[in-house]
Structure 1
Amino acid sequence: MPQWLNKWNAIGAKWLWWVVLVGIVAALPVMYARVQTETSADNYEIVMDYRDLLQVSSTQPNPQVFVQEQLKRLKDAGVNAMTVFESTLEELGWAGEINVYNATQAALLEGKLSPPEDNATYVVFNQPGDETTLRPIIEQAFARHGAAVTNWSIKGADGLRIDMGYDDALLRPMQPNPLAMKMLKDEGFNLVPRLSDRFPSFDAAEVDRWLSSFQTLGVKYVLFDGESVTGFGEGKKFDNLKTFSYSLKKYGIGIGMFENLKVPQRGAAKLANFLGYNAIRAHSVGEAEMTVIKKPVLEDRLILAVKDRDIRLLYLNAVAVKDTLKGKVSQPLDNIIDVLQGEEDGSKGVIAQLHDFGYDVGEPSAFKVHHAPQETLLRGLTMLAAITLVALTIGLFAPALLVIALVLGYIGGAGLYVVAPTLMVQALALVAAICAPTAAVVLLVKKLRTLRESASSPISVSRRIGGALLLFARTTVLSLAGIPFIVALLNHISYNLVLQQFRGVGLLHLAPIGLVALYVFLYGGNNTVVGNAKRILAMPLTVLWIVCLGVLGAAGLYYLTRTGNSGQVSGLEMQFRSILENTFGVRPRTKEFLLGHPIFFAGIFLALRYRWGSVLIIAGTIAQLSMVDTFAHIHTPLLLSIIRVLLGLGIGLVLGFILIAVWQILEKLYGVWLKRSGAVL
Structure 2
Amino acid sequence: MPQWLHTWNSRLSKLLWWVVLVGVIAALPVMYARAQTESSAKDVAFVMDYRDLLQVSSTKEVPQAYLQEELAKLKAAGVNGMAVFESTLEELGWAGEINVYNATQAAMLEQRVSPPSDNRTYVVFHNAEHAATLRPIIEWAFTHYGADIKDWTVGGLSGLSIGMGYDDAIMHPMQPNPIAMQALKDQGFQVFPRLSNRILPFDAAEMNKWLDSFQALGVTRVLFDGDAITGYGEGKNPKDVKKFAQMLDEHGMGIAMFENLKVPMKGMAKLANLLEYNAVRAHSISEGEMTVLKNAPIEDRLVLAVKDRNIRFIYLNAVATKDTIKGLVYNPLDKITETLGGYDGSTGVIKKIEDFGFNLGEPKAFEVHSAPQQSVLKGVAALGAIALISILIGLFLPGLQVLAFVIGAIGSAGLYVLSPNTMLQALALFVGIAAPTTAVILLVKRLRELRESSADGRLSAARRLGGSLILFARTTVLSIVAIPFIVALLNEIEYNLVLQQFRGVSLLHLVPIALVALYVVLYGSGNTVFGNARRILAMPLTVLWIVGVGVIAVAGLYYLTRTGNAGTVSGVELKFRSLLENTFGVRPRTKEFLLGHPLFLVGIFLALRYRWAMALIIAGTIAQLSMVDTFAHIHTPMILSVIRVMLGLGLGVCIGLVGIAVWQIGEGVKARWARQEA
TM-score exceeds 0.5? yes
TM-fit CA distance, 1:474: 0.2
Distance in 2 between the 1:547 and 1:288 partners?
A: 44
TM-fit CA distance, 1:151: 1.0
Which position in structure 2 is the counterpart of 1:625?
625
| Structure 1 residues 107-127: Cα deviation after superposition (integer angstroms, max 9, x where no partner) | 111111211111111111111
TM-fit CA distance, 1:287: 0.5
TM-fit CA distance, 1:4: 4.1
Query: 8 Å contact 1:607–1:613 — kept in the other structure?
Result: yes
Which position in structure 2 is the counterpart of 1:416?
415
Write the mapping of 1:81-160 to structure 2, written as runs, cut at 5 A. Answer: 81-160=81-160
Which position in structure 1 is the counterpart of 2:508?
508
Which position in structure 1 is the counterpart of 2:637?
637
Distance in 2 between the 1:673 and 1:225 partners?
A: 73
One-letter amino acid of the counterpart of residue 102, structure 1: N
Which position in structure 1 is the counterpart of 2:247?
247
State yes or no: 1:194 paired with 2:194.
yes
Query: 8 Å contact 1:194–1:222 — kept in the other structure?
Result: yes
Distance in 1 between the 2:238 and 2:115 partners?
A: 47
Which position in structure 2 is the counterpart of 1:397?
396
TM-fit CA distance, 1:677: 3.4
Which position in structure 1 is the counterpart of 2:338?
338
SS in 2 for 1:235: coil
Query: 8 Å contact 1:8–1:403 — kept in the other structure?
Result: no
Structure 1 range deviating more: 234-243 or 182-191: 234-243
Which position in structure 1 is the counterpart of 2:442?
443
Which position in structure 2 is the counterpart of 1:469?
469
SS in 1 for 2:611: coil
Distance in 2 between the 1:18 and 1:649 partners?
A: 27
Note closer, same or farther for the CA distance 1:186–1:446 as it changes in structure 2 (3 Å cut): same
TM-fit CA distance, 1:234: 4.5
Which position in structure 2 is the counterpart of 1:22?
22
Distance in 1 between the 2:490 and 2:460 partners?
A: 46
State yes or no: 1:10 paired with 2:26.
no
SS in 2 for 1:123: strand
Distance in 2 between the 1:225 and 1:37 partners?
A: 29
Which position in structure 2 is the counterpart of 1:597?
597
| Structure 1 residues 547-597: Cα deviation after superposition (integer angstroms, max 9, x where no partner) | 111111111000000000000001100000000000000000000000000
Distance in 1 between the 2:440 and 2:677 partners?
A: 40
Write the mapping of 1:537-616 to structure 2, written as runs, cut at 5 A. Answer: 537-616=537-616
Write the mapping of 1:482-521 to structure 2, written as runs, cut at 5 A. Answer: 482-521=482-521
SS in 2 for 1:612: helix
TM-fit CA distance, 1:404: 1.2
Distance in 2 between the 1:104 and 1:516 partners?
A: 77
One-letter amino acid of the counterpart of residue 154, structure 1: V
SS in 2 for 1:171: coil
TM-fit CA distance, 1:6: 2.7
TM-fit CA distance, 1:673: 2.7
Distance in 2 between the 1:143 and 1:388 partners?
A: 66
Query: 8 Å contact 1:9–1:402 — kept in the other structure?
Result: yes
Query: 8 Å contact 1:201–1:234 — kept in the other structure?
Result: no
| Structure 1 residues 491-525: Cα deviation after superposition (integer angstroms, max 9, x where no partner) | 00000000000000000000000000000000001
Distance in 2 between the 1:156 and 1:432 partners?
A: 76
| Structure 1 residues 347-368: Cα deviation after superposition (integer angstroms, max 9, x where no partner) | 2011111111000111110000
One-letter amino acid of the counterpart of residue 420, structure 2: P
Query: 8 Å contact 1:202–1:234 — kept in the other structure?
Result: no
| Structure 1 residues 82-127: Cα deviation after superposition (integer angstroms, max 9, x where no partner) | 0000000000000010000111111111111211111111111111
| Structure 1 residues 356-404: Cα deviation after superposition (integer angstroms, max 9, x where no partner) | 1000111110000000111111101000110111101000111011111
| Structure 1 residues 2-32: Cα deviation after superposition (integer angstroms, max 9, x where no partner) | 5543332111112211110110011000000
State yes or no: 1:203 paired with 2:203.
yes
Distance in 1 between the 2:231 and 2:105 partners?
A: 37
Write the mapping of 1:281-300 to structure 2, written as runs, cut at 5 A. Answer: 281-300=281-300
TM-fit CA distance, 1:237: 5.0
Note closer, same or farther for the CA distance 1:20–1:153 as it changes in structure 2 (3 Å cut): same
Which position in structure 1 is the counterpart of 2:387?
388
State yes or no: 1:371 paired with 2:350.
no
One-letter amino acid of the counterpart of residue 219, structure 1: V
TM-fit CA distance, 1:238: 3.6
TM-score (norm 2): 0.99
SS in 1 for 2:511: helix
Structure 1 range deviating more: 116-125 or 29-38: 116-125
TM-fit CA distance, 1:409: 0.4
Query: 8 Å contact 1:394–1:401 — kept in the other structure?
Result: yes
**Percent sequence identity over aligned pairs:** 66
Query: 8 Å contact 1:435–1:512 — kept in the other structure?
Result: yes
| Structure 1 residues 301-350: Cα deviation after superposition (integer angstroms, max 9, x where no partner) | 0000000000000000000011122211110010110111112x442011
SS in 2 for 1:631: helix
Distance in 1 between the 2:579 and 2:615 partners?
A: 32
Query: 8 Å contact 1:26–1:381 — kept in the other structure?
Result: yes
Distance in 2 between the 1:422 and 1:630 partners?
A: 21
TM-score (norm 1): 0.98
One-letter amino acid of the counterpart of residue 321, structure 1: T
SS in 1 for 2:367: coil
Structure 1 range deviating more: 12-21 or 54-63: 12-21
TM-fit CA distance, 1:674: 2.6
Distance in 2 between the 1:588 and 1:651 partners?
A: 9
Note closer, same or farther for the CA distance 1:23–1:100 as it changes in structure 2 (3 Å cut): same
Cα RMSD (Å) of the superposition?
0.9
One-letter amino acid of the counterpart of residue 440, structure 2: V
Which position in structure 2 is the counterpart of 1:51?
51
Distance in 2 between the 1:659 and 1:346 partners?
A: 38
Distance in 2 between the 1:406 and 1:274 partners?
A: 38
Distance in 2 between the 1:237 and 1:647 partners?
A: 53
TM-fit CA distance, 1:236: 4.5
Distance in 2 between the 1:466 and 1:3 partners?
A: 37
Distance in 2 between the 1:435 and 1:315 partners?
A: 40
TM-fit CA distance, 1:462: 0.5
Query: 8 Å contact 1:45–1:362 — kept in the other structure?
Result: yes
TM-fit CA distance, 1:676: 3.2
Distance in 2 between the 1:639 and 1:46 partners?
A: 24
Q: How many matched pairs?
A: 677
Which position in structure 2 is the counterpart of 1:173?
173
Distance in 2 between the 1:541 and 1:160 partners?
A: 84
One-letter amino acid of the counterpart of residue 370, structure 1: H
SS in 2 for 1:111: coil
TM-fit CA distance, 1:187: 0.7
Distance in 2 between the 1:514 and 1:16 partners?
A: 24
TM-fit CA distance, 1:672: 2.3
Note closer, same or farther for the CA distance 1:634–1:663 as it changes in structure 2 (3 Å cut): same
SS in 1 for 2:118: coil
Structure 1 range deviating more: 500-509 or 542-551: 542-551
Distance in 2 between the 1:146 and 1:620 partners?
A: 67
One-letter amino acid of the counterpart of residue 268, structure 1: M
Distance in 2 between the 1:187 and 1:174 partners?
A: 24
